[in-house]
Copies of this chain bind each other. A is one copy, B any other.
Amino acid sequence: MLYICIVNKKEKILTAALELLVEKGIHNTPMSAIAKAASTGMGTIYNYFPNKEILINEIYLRIKEDEKSAFVAFDTSMPIKTQFENYSTSIINFFINNPSYFKFMEQLQASPIITQESRAEGNKSIEPVALLLKQGQQERIIKNIAIDEILMFIGGAVLSYLRWYFSQSKTSATSLKNQTQMVWDAIKE
């Protein structure tokens, strides 16, 4: 089998698993169903992922990876507020365009299935934001609060906005603007 096929097989499993996990929930998604949806045998999944938890962690890491690559690097020539707005908007649009990513994160955010390693790895995606905030604090644009606390605040705001977004049948065009405004007002000096 060609290399490209093997890649496809692993990808197919990850994709099928994600789709089922967000649709049915983790504990209503047996490995057999994933195998079926990915058109593979159950044993094949175990060739790529030693067990179900590792498969799920890998999905988690893929999403975080994707999240990172979706955000184009900060343009440091721009004002911090602009940079922040760009980040905030792009991260939210990322999840709006990938609803299953959001549903997956919602479901697994607090789950003991995601290991400390995965979380640590995943948190790397916000490092650039931490740097931006730090710079903002030096310039006395951002409140002088522990970076961790601010980051958590922003994260919570993003999640809650998305939660609200997906619960609405129709979203006003201004809601994202409102959201960005609120977050900025919250963290700005």
A163 surroundings in chain B (CB, below 8 A) = 110, 152, 156
Q: Which residues of chain A in 151-173 are interfacial with respect to chain B, using CB atoms and an 8 Å cutoff? A: 152-153, 155-157, 159-161, 163-164, 168, 172
Q: Are B106 and A109 in contact (CB under 8 A)?
A: yes
Interface of chain A, main secondary structure: helix
* Chain A: interface residue total (CB-CB under 8 A): 40
A149 surroundings in chain B (CB, below 8 A) = 161, 164, 175, 178-179
CA distance A150 to B159 in the complex (A): 13
A76 at the interface (CB under 8 A from B): no
A24 surroundings in chain B (CB, below 8 A) = 112
Q: Are A178 and B143 in contact (CB under 8 A)?
A: yes
Q: Are A161 and B157 in contact (CB under 8 A)?
A: no
| Complex: chain B residue closest to A112, CB-CB | B25
A155 surroundings in chain B (CB, below 8 A) = 160
Q: Are B186 and A183 in contact (CB under 8 A)?
A: yes
A150 surroundings in chain B (CB, below 8 A) = 182
A98 at the interface (CB under 8 A from B): no
Q: Are B164 and A160 in contact (CB under 8 A)?
A: no
A107 at the interface (CB under 8 A from B): yes
Q: Which residues of chain A in 43-102 are interfacial with respect to chain B, using CB atoms and an 8 Å cutoff? A: none
Q: Which residues of chain A in 114-157 are interfacial with respect to chain B, using CB atoms and an 8 Å cutoff? A: 143, 145-146, 148-150, 152-153, 155-157
16 A-B pairs besides A148-B164, A153-B160, A153-B161 with CB distance below 8 A are A25-B111, A27-B27, A109-B110, A145-B175, A146-B172, A146-B178, A148-B168, A149-B161, A152-B163, A153-B182, A156-B160, A157-B157, A157-B186, A182-B186, A185-B188, A186-B186
Interchain residue pairs A-B with the least CB separation, the first 5? A156-B160, A186-B186, A152-B164, A106-B110, A182-B186
